[in-house]
Structure 1
Amino acid sequence: MNTPILTIDERHNIDAGAWFSSLSPTLRAAILARATVRRLADGASLAARGTPAEDWVGVAKGAVRVSSVSLSGKQVSLTYVEPGTWFGDIALFDGLPRTHDASAHGATTLLIVRKGDFRELLSQHVELYDALLRLNCRRLRLMFNLIEDLNTKPLAARLAKQLLLLAKSYGIEQGEEIRIGLQLAQEDLAQLLGASRQRVNQELKEFERDGVLRVEPARLVVLSREKLMAAAER
């Protein structure tokens, strides 16, 4: 099989991913040899809740919005899968349907490994089992930390922590400023935090007054990483 054709930036995003870069060169090459490229326009659906799991997915560009539907029928954002991240393996392991909806957020490039190829990789590379076990342990730890924050930290601290994560994953440094490349409406940010848009708007204005960040029409710009870190530790 041939290595999928990606742009230089897309290939860099895959190779630089913390999990993927920790694999042996042999396993990385084997995964890429079985992957195909899929490019999605903003808002295009990747998977729907309740459908059979058929793919293991790596994000090479853009982001994947993982969402659910509330009791009122509203689509609620749960997380955004960043470039360099692989996901979808849990449903391939347990054979159960997808648990959430997934769609492209912005123009998005994905590497797709079909279920049959994923199983072949597992059978031929024992290393992959161990690597995926470590990956899912990390996901569990992050989930427990999120639950702890939700129950123990004020909204300002949770917002600051979320902005630090976004700056790390999507930050574009311009001098001392960090421009967050992922475009999120305040409603989307509020959904990630389990808060109302009005409360998030109030906290963002407070951060602006304190010189922590600047709110632009389509971007958030971090002015002081140190102040943002201090706010996250309150």
Structure 2
Amino acid sequence: MNPNEVESLKSRWRGCVWAHTLSDAEGAALLPQLRFVELAAGQPIWHRGDPAEHWVGMGRGSMKLCTTSASGKPVTFMGQAFSWVGEVELIRDTPRFCDAVALSDAVIIKMPKAAFFHLLDSNPAFNRFVMLLLSERLTQSMAVTLSDRTLDPVAKVAQSLASLFSPSAFPPRSLELQVSQAELAIYCNMSRPRLNAALKQLEAEGLLELGYQVVTLRQLDALRTYAKQCDNPA
């Protein structure tokens, strides 16, 4: 990959939300261990059953955690833009339970398992951050289950899009998602016509902007609270 982008990412990674937990010495020791890997859209980050050897950050682009049901239907568990993923299998010492695939052209940052556990064991602030991240994953999973059962399509799409930008994330330079509506329909677990109608309504309300295989979120906080607004209209 472009050496200039590698240097840019190396300078930016200290801006991620957990980097403040590291001392200058810890940061200097960790940086040479990080690997920066460029991926094309659709390229795997890992496969189901692979050994868990790294904690993975999205330096650029977005990804999905996904699998295929016994009937051949694709199922997307979670999409993350600019976040860090893969800690569950590291902590449990188990193989990857699903596939991870780049949704757009991306650069991932790979932290070796040994470095992850060294920080987990020696740095209480980093340990607390990982606990917060795991709690957030659980909350997000519960929200997805709730939205499948209770929300109308527009609120469900709003919540699904907002969940792509985790509060415990690598800070994004923009809220632009380079993703097809076909991928979004799978992620939101709805048909493309229903997704398209919901996206157009959210665009009409000024919460996002649609382009060719691009969705730009204009009001992230409003998307996060959209379901509550629908339940409690003014």
Q: 2:62: which partner in 1?
A: 63
- Structural mapping, 1:1-234, within 5 Å: 6-8=6-8, 10-11=9-10, 13-83=12-82, 85-165=83-163, 172=174, 180-208=175-203, 213-221=208-216, 231-232=226-227, 233-234=229-230
The superposition leaves residues 160-205 of structure 1 with CA deviations (integer Å, 9 ceiling, x where unpaired) of: 2334455897684xxxxxxx52222222212222212221122234
Distance 1:80 1:140, change over 3 A: same
- Counting matched residue pairs gives 221
TM-score (norm 1): 0.76
Answer yes or no: is the 8 Å Cα contact 1:19–1:135 preserved in 2.
Answer: no
Letter aligned with residue 162 of structure 1: S
The superposition leaves residues 138-173 of structure 1 with CA deviations (integer Å, 9 ceiling, x where unpaired) of: 22122222222332221111212334455897684x
List gaps (5 residues or longer) in structure 2: none
**1:102 Cα deviation after fit:** 0.8
Relative to structure 2, which stretch is displaced further, 41-50 or 19-28?
A: 19-28
RMSD: 3.1
Distance 1:21 1:43, change over 3 A: farther
The superposition leaves residues 95-122 of structure 1 with CA deviations (integer Å, 9 ceiling, x where unpaired) of: 1111110122222222212223333333
Answer yes or no: is the 8 Å Cα contact 1:62–1:109 preserved in 2.
Answer: yes
TM-score (norm 2): 0.76
Identity %: 27
Distance 1:19 1:79, change over 3 A: same
CA distance in 2 between counterparts of 1:124 and 1:87 reads 20
List gaps (5 residues or longer) in structure 1: 173-179
2:110 aligned counterpart, secondary structure? strand
Q: Which has the higher contact order (CA 8 A, sep 6+)?
A: 2
Distance 1:195 1:206, change over 3 A: same
Answer yes or no: is the 8 Å Cα contact 2:119–2:126 preserved in 1.
Answer: yes
2:156 aligned counterpart, secondary structure? helix
CA distance in 2 between counterparts of 1:26 and 1:126 reads 16
CA distance in 2 between counterparts of 1:80 and 1:171 reads 17
1:80 aligned counterpart, secondary structure? strand
Distance 1:121 1:153, change over 3 A: same
**1:129 Cα deviation after fit:** 2.6
